[in-house]
Structure 1
């Protein structure tokens, strides 16, 4: 889909030829003398329209309006959150088969992040998955024009929104693909396509190379599958070589049966989403290829299936991780932490500024936070604060969870350095404590996205989260590093005062 940014007041918006015109009406709306203002003012006066975010009124072939369909929608306080809510509220009209061209116009001042929110919301509302369907009902919308009072001032937010859409939709595509269309090999091929973008490189390791690295935990998970594992390494080089990179580690279990500790049959099909952490890393790199920020980023994806074969690892088996620490595998369905722990050890070679792993790790996190916020765990307060702030700005929310050392007591083992699970209590926290054993002194954060990476039921599908959070975090870090590196302008010395005349 194509997006355009245009300077567009309401008077000009009424003349825009399109299938759908969406006008965002903020609280405190001050109407002008144009036709759209008159319609909105009259609807507000008579109580047929409210400026509350998401409340809307649809009209067909309204007088003096060129658009076939017109929707006046309340934008609340005009914040990014309210604007997003407003656009999604009219998502049905945006996704309608007859909607080929839509214009979304602001009827007031544009607040920070609002234009970016419009672009993302329109893309989300119109998204259609088609890859494995024989009768393709492709996205009908092919062009969206965003109208603002001043296009030049809104350009940065617009460009960020377009880049984010590219990243989120890349993540959604690979998250939504069935497991036989998203094997570790196919996932690695998808990563290789990203190397066509500026400043991005890709390297893929197979079973032999992973064995030479002594990634015993990762190898153990992959043993039960006929699909060969892949270890994907992506690099985005946007800054000087001496700048320490941010490392993103995405869990890439392309299908999770639970292994020998097999899962119950109901909803097991949703375990194709167990690689959404990996998909989010791919999505971030897709967005970086568009945005080109001045920062270095490394993406690591341990990709494999978790299957119950005769060669599969068994409960009670002890494996040796890349770090040299031994692990008693008490539950083969706690496999995500096993592939991640070796990837985290591998990450140390980059001497990173920070490491963030992203994983659909625990059902316990779904119980704790539902589908609203991702779980955030961190050993560094500054990193945790930066990620939480980025999530708030991007409307991709997370919530910091505790990491008290007492939670690790349940990981003790009589036969290895640690077990891979503790008891049921605090399951998302004990999983994070397991991962923490492999990060050493690196600033590290863990995002448990088990509740936010996909939706079930009638709306079943990948959400593309937390691509927005991660891209915003990297953008913020890039700006902070640029500011720190900028030469300080020395203060000019005060001008010498002329000597005072002596009294005579």
Structure 2
């Protein structure tokens, strides 16, 4: 998908389809009002017929309008003008993508960013258009024939801006949005692949492919024998029940020659989670192929950083394994020794994500990081607490937490901070080990974060529980690619690329 910026006379712009916005009660946006005058009021005339009132996401295709070089005009509803929120803006963009993909136009010109919600500048409006439309155009076809694929898919979208001074931030927005969208697409594709295809070894191969594509990215994969030598007893205990060997994927990106401390992203890479001996219920267990979405999002974010050539030092770490029941699998009551030397009593084998993450977090110490963010589809408790909209954010570092919250708001990929108080730590007490791997039903997402915090004492750290946002269920089932946008925004902010 190609995106480009255009300014000048919109009426004279030749395009297979010109997209204009309409607010509720048939109120025209600025560009639509200008085109209405050019056509001698034909837009107003058609709207009076009642085919489109302006409800957010509703569309109407028009043909052969006088005075316009465009072959078609697509009108899209944006909702109430006084309540033109970012959510309604994105809803309109998503509707546009669906119609254009099926229209046969092949390319189009979008004048909607000029009607962006209050508080969004041209950069934000254009970038949201790129990310939202690319996301809506994604189609999974790796293991099925896409019989509904359009014969003439949308391949090029021109984003029109009103003045020449706006072209520079708009072009920057296209570049940033394109990289962000590519990262999201990679994370979605990896998540959507079945567990018999996307194994730990497959994830490692995808990381190596990124390393072959980008010279600034060096990839190292630690095998089980090396992890055993290091003492990663917690991580390896999870893979004992699987025939698929565990991998620790380490990606080093250097976009600067200066000797700066790295930022580190750690993503849970459970390519399938049956729960182990503490077996999950059969219903919807197929969705546990998405338990590696944290790792997939790390790969997607690394791709975005490489594509943008960000002037930062970044490391991505993905501990990858399966969690299956087997004669060698963890049993409730087993005690394992982590890389940190701390012992863990496994009370529930389905709380395995924290076991592979804790060794990866200890491994981060060797890099003397400036900050570490781990992301994991860690707890159903977080979904109960926050639903499917924000990620759960945990950190004892107020400054780092504020950076992440700000990045989430800027990217439209929000997080919500939950407490990480010492009051909860006692729930992890064990009579037989330094800690238990679960703390009971109360505050389950918090005690999971408390568990991870015990392995992050030597650096600034934050945890994102993405169990509620990483995929959609039901008939819309599929990966979302979140929180690639949030993390990429955080890296953009850290590098100063958005200034």
Q: TM-score, normalised by structure 1?
A: 0.89
Contact 2:365 2:458 in 1 (8 A): no
Residues 341-371 of structure 1: per-residue CA shift (max 9 Å, x gap): 0000001111111100000000001111111
Question: How do 1:238-317 residues align onto structure 2 when only pairs under 5 Å count?
Answer: 238-317=255-334
Contact 2:11 2:69 in 1 (8 A): no
Label 1:136 to 1:396 Cα distance change in 2 as closer, same or farther (>3 A). same
1:407 Cα deviation from its structure 2 partner: 1.1
Contact 1:192 1:202 in 2 (8 A): yes
Contact 1:9 1:148 in 2 (8 A): no
1:443 Cα deviation from its structure 2 partner: 1.0
Partner residue of 1:147 out of 140, 145, 160: 160
| Matched position secondary structure for 2:351 | coil
1:29 and 2:56 are equivalent in the alignment: no
- What is residue 129 of structure 1 aligned with on the other side? 140
| Matched position secondary structure for 1:12 | coil
Contact 2:428 2:451 in 1 (8 A): yes
Partner residue of 1:224 out of 237, 241, 248: 241
Measured in 2, the distance between the counterparts of 1:404 and 1:44 equals 57
Question: How do 1:484-499 residues align onto structure 2 when only pairs under 5 Å count?
Answer: none
1:95 and 2:101 are equivalent in the alignment: yes
Measured in 2, the distance between the counterparts of 1:285 and 1:133 equals 28
- What is residue 365 of structure 1 aligned with on the other side? 382
Contact 1:81 1:117 in 2 (8 A): no
Measured in 2, the distance between the counterparts of 1:262 and 1:67 equals 59
- What is residue 498 of structure 1 aligned with on the other side? none
Question: How do 1:99-498 residues align onto structure 2 when only pairs under 5 Å count?
Answer: 99-106=105-112, 108=114, 111=121, 112-134=123-145, 138=149, 140-149=153-162, 150=164, 151-195=167-211, 196-479=213-496
Contact 1:84 1:121 in 2 (8 A): yes
Give the stretch that moved more between structures: 108-117 or 295-304.
108-117
Label 1:416 to 1:54 Cα distance change in 2 as closer, same or farther (>3 A). same
Measured in 1, the distance between the counterparts of 2:113 and 2:469 equals 33
Unmatched tracts of structure 1, length 5 or more? 484-504
Label 1:135 to 1:169 Cα distance change in 2 as closer, same or farther (>3 A). closer
Give the stretch that moved more between structures: 257-266 or 103-112.
103-112
Residues 235-272 of structure 1: per-residue CA shift (max 9 Å, x gap): 11012342111100000000000000000100000000
1:71 Cα deviation from its structure 2 partner: 2.0
Give the stretch that moved more between structures: 189-198 or 408-417.
189-198
Contact 1:323 1:342 in 2 (8 A): yes
Measured in 2, the distance between the counterparts of 1:32 and 1:352 equals 53
Contact 1:359 1:449 in 2 (8 A): yes
1:94 Cα deviation from its structure 2 partner: 3.0
Contact 1:25 1:107 in 2 (8 A): no
- What is residue 496 of structure 1 aligned with on the other side? none
Alignment size in residue pairs: 479
| Matched position secondary structure for 1:431 | helix
| Matched position secondary structure for 1:236 | strand
Residues 189-209 of structure 1: per-residue CA shift (max 9 Å, x gap): 000111121411111111111
Contact 2:11 2:67 in 1 (8 A): no
Q: CA RMSD in A?
A: 2.4
Contact 1:24 1:104 in 2 (8 A): no
Residues 167-204 of structure 1: per-residue CA shift (max 9 Å, x gap): 11011110110011101001000001111214111111
- What is residue 2 of structure 1 aligned with on the other side? 2
1:153 Cα deviation from its structure 2 partner: 3.7
Contact 2:29 2:115 in 1 (8 A): no
